[in-house]
Amino acid sequence: MKSIILCRVGWMAKYDGSENIYRGNMQWSEEGAGELWNFKSGEDSIVRGFVMLTAKNKKGDLTGTINIDNIGALASDASSEGNTIIFYAPNPSNEKSYVVGWYENAKVYRTWVVDAGKKNIYRNKTEYSFEVNKWDTFLILENKRNIEVINAQYAQANEIKGSYPGQNCVFFGSNNIRYVNEIYDKIKFKKNTENVESPDNFDDPSEFFHTNEGKLRLKTHKKRERSVKLVKRFKDDLDSFDCIICGFNFEDVYGKIGKLFIEAHHIKPIKDMKENTEVTISDLIPVCSNCHRMLHRKASPENWELLKNII
């Protein structure tokens, strides 16, 4: 089976270092809240993820040890490649644990890595266990987190047979293949049908707009996934975040919160695309929210220059 690890972390909306964290009954100190940045990438487009681990060396220092032998690594290996890491956390509203997001194709380190270098300055001198390209990170919108993860205590109380996540914050898929595969199937379905974002596009109206269209058509999973990743790459390559139609710049008007914000408009309407249609960065243009809506209201989104002439 695919190498899957369930990791219990604290509850946040974005995991970009900007929020308070809710841990439920997890007692480690504020200094141990490394999951604060679990969905924030560095300048090198790498996300470095954290999970709290209690293993210690002979001196009594925490080592952050994950037994990667359980996911196919050799005893001499310092890391394991190509793994799926599923993060779950206790919801403050009901104390139940739900999947908050996941990594695909992630590297797992046997022990914590400390020096993240200048390209991940926020991780400087802060431990982490995982490395993954930001295109392979998926964060579930806070109000869409409905994949519950039951723990060993609940399973025992309800006479559910099998091994389930306990007090250790790491649970290997091989410990209960059937149950972990059920969770994995649920996140795949969610990825196909709902808004699943990384912080690069979190709360971006253009992403909601495009995926909602896709949901109505019930197209293939590949089309939606490609759209999200394409938009991310498109924005990373932009030299200017001015609207190509009216020139509006979010940072000029809203300050810091508007920095690097713009919506991506598909010149060729998604609803008119045939299955397996290839889309490239050249098929996207940067637009503000108002112009984006007007383009679609006029029912001719491919002819954006007409709208520019109106202005």
Map out the domains of the chain as residue ranges. 4-194, 204-310
Span 97-140, pLDDT tens digits = 999 999 999 999 999 998 777 777 777 778 899 999 988 999 99
Lowest-pLDDT range of 10-14, 74-78, 221-225, 242-246: 221-225
Instruction: Specify the pLDDT at position 228.
Output: 66
Amino acid at 207: E
Tell which wins on pLDDT, 131 or 273: 131
Spatial neighbors of 228 by CB under 8 A, at least 6 apart, are 196, 197, 201, 207, 211
Give the number of other Cβ atoms within 10 Å of residue 34's Cβ.
22
Spatial neighbors of 65 by CB under 8 A, at least 6 apart, are 53, 55, 110, 111
Q: Is the pLDDT of residue 164 over 90?
A: yes
pTM equals 0.65
Tell which wins on pLDDT, 252 or 31: 252
